[in-house]
Copies of this chain bind each other. A is one copy, B any other.
Amino acid sequence: MLHKDDLIKMYRWMVLTRTFELTMNDLYQHGRVPELQHCSVGQEAIGVGACYGLRPEDVVMPSLRTRAAFLVKGVPSKILMAAAFAKETKLCGGKNTSHHLGDLSLGIIAGTGIVGGSIPLAVGAALACKLKKTDQITVCFFGDGATNTGNFHESVNLAAVLSLPIVFVCENNQYAMGTSAKRSMLVDNIADRAASYGIPGVMVNGNDIIAVYDAVQNAIQKAKGVPPQPTLIECKTYRWYGHSQRDPVDGRYRTKEEIETWKLRCPIKHFREYLKRAGILSEEAIRETDNETRLEIEEAVRFAEETPYPEPGRVLDDNYAPVLEV
């Protein structure tokens, strides 16, 4: 059960994520950060809502656009920012972008940059947890476009057949780059694809953080069942910005009006209003949260700028693990 404090924390995570994203957006436009950003603004409720109830040992496979998952799972914003700056961090040592980094100590596995390609890895993580008889849950994020890949199909079916403790969370922001989901599939609801695998498919409003949280928690119960059962959750949402910073906000593949309509359904605004109405969040607290997160991200940027680049001499490290005599 979520308590008042939880709700406030969840709200803060969403604001922090958005501040992070908007700041990076701005930095990129000014040539101050090398990583080409794939902005998650408008989709914050999904990463936060799905990860908030997870334990440290639970495993997450973020998609390209699940910035919130890193933060909620425990990656400090300044480390994440330093990674985007391609600086030396323990996390990835400049070896990969901030979108595809991992920290096994926090239960985050680095995805591959191949759409759909990380899903098999997540299934494997869930398989390991099942074989080791831990009660860890794996949560695997991907977009609407990813559900058209062969890897999605094979992986979800495999997880179903092997009865694995995994929750598939589809962030359906209705576009894969410039391709509307309407042009890439003839089904209205991705959740319906679950039927092909004989597992539950659940559709939720992805801009309603509580709905996301509840759906994931229900799915976790199924994943912990005997036998465990995977669930496919579709979170309907919208991508406010372009696919990446190279793609203008309103490409020719969608209209300004559509974007504006969806901005009215802002997950943060929606939740803030709810919390206000419920008397959980005061105007004061809202301002404080804005301030705090702004300061945190400013500090993250400072940290990222000051952090040195990785040592070129270490570039070849970590291709192979050393063989210990056995």
Task: Say yes or no for A150: interface residue by CB 8 A criterion.
Answer: yes
Q: Smallest CB-CB separation from A187: which chain B residue?
A: B198
Chain A residues bordering chain B, tally (CB within 8 A) = 22
Task: Say yes or no for A88: interface residue by CB 8 A criterion.
Answer: no
A68 to B192 alpha-carbon distance, docked (Å): 36
The 8 A CB mask of A125-160 against B (1 = contact, 0 = none) is 000000000000000000000001111111001001
Segment of A29-37, A164-172, A178-186, A274-282 engaged in the interface with chain B: A178-186
Task: Say yes or no for A197: interface residue by CB 8 A criterion.
Answer: yes
Task: Say yes or no for A255: interface residue by CB 8 A criterion.
Answer: no
**A 188-210 contacts with B by CB, 8 A:** 192-193, 195-199
Q: Are A196 and B193 CB-contacts (below 8 A) given A148-B154, A186-B161? A: yes
Q: Which 8 A-B pairs have the closest CB atoms?
A: A150-B150, A186-B198, A153-B153, A193-B196, A196-B196, A150-B154, A187-B198, A160-B186
Q: Tell whether, in the assembled complex, residue B154 and residue A149 are in contact, meaning their CB atoms are under 8 Å apart.
A: yes
CB of A58, distance to nearest CB on chain B (Å) = 24
A192 to B195 alpha-carbon distance, docked (Å): 8
A148 to B186 alpha-carbon distance, docked (Å): 20
CB of A232, distance to nearest CB on chain B (Å) = 11
Beyond A150-B151, A185-B198, 9 additional contacts (C-beta under 8 Å) are A148-B157, A149-B150, A150-B153, A150-B154, A153-B153, A161-B185, A187-B197, A192-B196, A193-B196
Chain B residues near A157: list those with CB within 8 A: 148, 184-185
Chain B residues near A197: list those with CB within 8 A: 185-187
Chain B residues near A192: list those with CB within 8 A: 195-196
